[in-house]
Structure 1
Amino acid sequence: MAKTMSERTPRNLIIGIAMTLLGGVLWGMNATVSKLLMADYHVSPLWIACVRELGAGAIFVICSAVMTPKQFVGIVRDRKSYPRLLAIALICVLLVQVSYLFAIDWTNSGTATVLQSLNLLFVLGFVCIRGRRLPGRREAVGVALAFVGTVLIATGGNLSTLKLPLIGLIWGLVDAASTAAMSIMPTKLIAKWGNFTVNGIAFLISGIVLLPVVRPWVTAPQLDWAGIGLMTFTVVGGTFGAFWLFMAGVMRVGSMRATMLGTSEPVMATVSAVAWTGEVFTSTDLAGFAMILIMVFLVR
């Protein structure tokens, strides 16, 4: 059982910080690994999404059945949870995964991951509408920085043209919106049935929905041993491992600290994009990235 804030010891805090940082690093690396699969092996974004959702979902479900069997059996019997589980699977898993991969495919791993950080603006909008209030001063500054940062990334500083493909920018914004939904929609079910259980079933449903569209057994790409290694990482380390570590860290450090520590994700995605794919970012790109990351610390 997760410790409350008053019960969090310094040792647990250090462990939580390490887990959260490592989860963000793995997810950032996963973005660049996905880009390598799409660029070097011509793997479809939908194929990657389908395979890694089924693979990670199976691991989540096995962990749930072994570690929390009562919760696993309970959610299967709770038919009232089925509609919400389906909505979570379609919006918080399928749409997040597909939009993120298409954003990476059309742009690059660093840019797509930074655009994903705009999810906080959608969460802020939801909170303000529900609370019938306007954004505070810090929040307003964060919104302004995020807007300017996004414009800089999209235009390269030249407002008369788009530097990014418009479809890549749109997929990035769709990813941000669906990622925001992921932080809101599953909370009640996770509180009742547990993280492994809810996410395992949601991942499996999402992968199954994609099966008739993708038909991964027919459209499987030609992968050498290096490609198989990349695909294995994106399922085990980059999806299951990253998500498990990050959520386990959140339970120890709290959501506010986790949001700050989560900036390791776009930083790692940018660094790995430069190191592994030869991506070149201009000073305008980096300024836009910095503005969006500062927004993360202001909007909380």
Structure 2
Amino acid sequence: MRLRGEAGNEVTQQQRNVEEMLERAARTEQRDAAQELADKTQARPNVAQTPRRMMAGIACTLIGGVLWGVNGSVSKILMEQYDASPMWVACVREIFAGLIFLACGAIGSPKAMRKAFTTVRDYPMYLVTALTCVTLVQVAYLFSIHWTNAGTATVLQTVNLLMVLVYVCVRGRRKPTVHEVVGVALAFAGVWLLATGGDLGALSLPLPGLLWGLADAFACACLAIIPVKLIAKYGNFVVNGITFLLSGLILTPFVRPWAHVPAFDARGWWLLVFTVVVGTFVAFWLYMAGVVRIGSMRATMFGTIEPVAATVTAVMWTGAIFTPIDLIGFALILIMAFLVH
């Protein structure tokens, strides 16, 4: 009985530790999101951030981008080896990741979660965020690949750097800094080299592909801008939970995921769990945590680590080899990271 009681106390203490951790994370992200909103109204970019906040934001953004890159490789395995449709994967991971976000929000910031659901005037913003920052990001990228190819779609997606830079400069009523201009150019060049191997002939640009690619870039730019105000009010977990679940439910009538479940073996189910928990929940949580700490422009630039991670995992899992062009692309993105930092 005594051992059972001690075990019960340990479980209770662990639950309290988890609740305290989630509560601290929610408070920190709300505070940093509020600071990011204040920074955007300044005529000059804020360079006086504390080193701890800056490094935490950079780390979150980089890890989130790496996990996105790994998630792309995992999703490709699910689609090619298990015949899972891209929209099925997108719908399932949005719904379940949304539920995980909401569970964390209920534990870490229950008051903010209740307020989020009872503040009806914010419902239209939830819908806009879900459609633009979640649904359109997934659908536009898939159709961009369909009409062009993966390399072209990735290069077009990188146009979001220019969109975010224009927004930040217009919002702050300032000119772009030299570091920002050079950083955007290096990031774009690095992604282009990784995606196409430096071969202009690898770019395929029919009009529908161009339009879907630009729509994807627009959605990715919105991801670094639109949710910040909501996160300042309700926290990262709550906002992501509502928007992901809403997006998944919007896709459900069209995808009908229960009617087309792929024939997964044990490995397939584990990969699906990975893409939901790590590649979607953890990746988006970390990326948005980075956005509210270092700002949308820096976060968008550091997010270009995604194709680097995708290339590295492809080499590790498929036996492909790095080409000199790949290494040059890596170097350009790393130089960009140092400039932005």
**Structures share a fold, TM > 0.5?**
yes
**2:294 is matched with which residue: 232, 244, 254?**
254
Given the alignment of the two structures, is residue 210 of structure 1 paired with residue 251 of structure 2, yes or no?
Answer: yes
Structure number with greater CO (CA < 8 Å, separation at least 6) is: 1
- Root mean square deviation of aligned Cα: 3.7
Normalised by the length of structure 1, the TM-score is: 0.80
2:227 alignment partner in structure 1: 186
Give the aligned residue type for 1:47: W
Between structure 1 and structure 2, the one with the greater Rg is: 2
Q: Rate the CA distance shift 1:200–1:229 in 2: closer, same or farther, 3 A.
A: same
Q: Rate the CA distance shift 1:291–1:22 in 2: closer, same or farther, 3 A.
A: closer
**2:127 is matched with which residue: 80, 86, 94?**
86
1:79: Cα distance to partner? 0.7
Does the 8 Å CA contact 1:20/1:261 hold for their aligned counterparts?
Answer: yes
Q: Rate the CA distance shift 1:210–1:43 in 2: closer, same or farther, 3 A.
A: same
Normalised by the length of structure 2, the TM-score is: 0.71
Query: Deviations for 1:169-210, whole angstroms, at most 9, x for unmatched residues?
Result: 765543332111011111111101111111100001100000
Q: Secondary structure at the match of 1:221?
A: coil
Please give the alpha-carbon distance, in whole angstroms, between the structure 1 residues aligned to 2:171 and 2:224. 15
Give the aligned residue type for 1:194: G
Query: Deviations for 1:137-160, whole angstroms, at most 9, x for unmatched residues?
Result: 33343444455556656765454x
Which stretches in structure 1 are left out of the alignment for 5+ residues? none
1:239 alignment partner in structure 2: 280
Given the alignment of the two structures, is residue 265 of structure 1 paired with residue 311 of structure 2, yes or no?
Answer: no
Please give the alpha-carbon distance, in whole angstroms, between the structure 1 residues aligned to 2:262 and 2:131. 25
Identical columns (%): 56
Matches within 5 A, 1:52-201: 52-101=93-142, 107-108=149-150, 116-131=157-172, 134-145=175-186, 148=189, 157-159=198-200, 161-163=201-203, 171-201=212-242
Matches within 5 A, 1:285-296: 287-288=328-329, 290-291=331-332, 294-295=335-336
Which stretches in structure 2 are left out of the alignment for 5+ residues? 1-26, 36-47
1:54: Cα distance to partner? 0.1
Please give the alpha-carbon distance, in whole angstroms, between the structure 1 residues aligned to 2:51 and 2:329. 37
**2:87 is matched with which residue: 21, 40, 46?**
46
Please give the alpha-carbon distance, in whole angstroms, between the structure 2 residues aligned to 1:137 and 1:14. 22
Aligned length: 296
Please say which of residues 33-42 and 162-171 is displaced more in the overlay: 162-171
Does the 8 Å CA contact 1:121/1:143 hold for their aligned counterparts?
Answer: yes
Give the aligned residue type for 2:91: C
Please say which of residues 173-182 and 267-276 is displaced more in the overlay: 173-182
Please give the alpha-carbon distance, in whole angstroms, between the structure 2 residues aligned to 1:20 and 1:136. 21
1:82: Cα distance to partner? 0.5
Give the aligned residue type for 1:254: I
Give the aligned residue type for 1:271: V
Please give the alpha-carbon distance, in whole angstroms, between the structure 2 residues aligned to 1:72 and 1:288. 42
Please give the alpha-carbon distance, in whole angstroms, between the structure 2 residues aligned to 1:294 and 1:213. 43
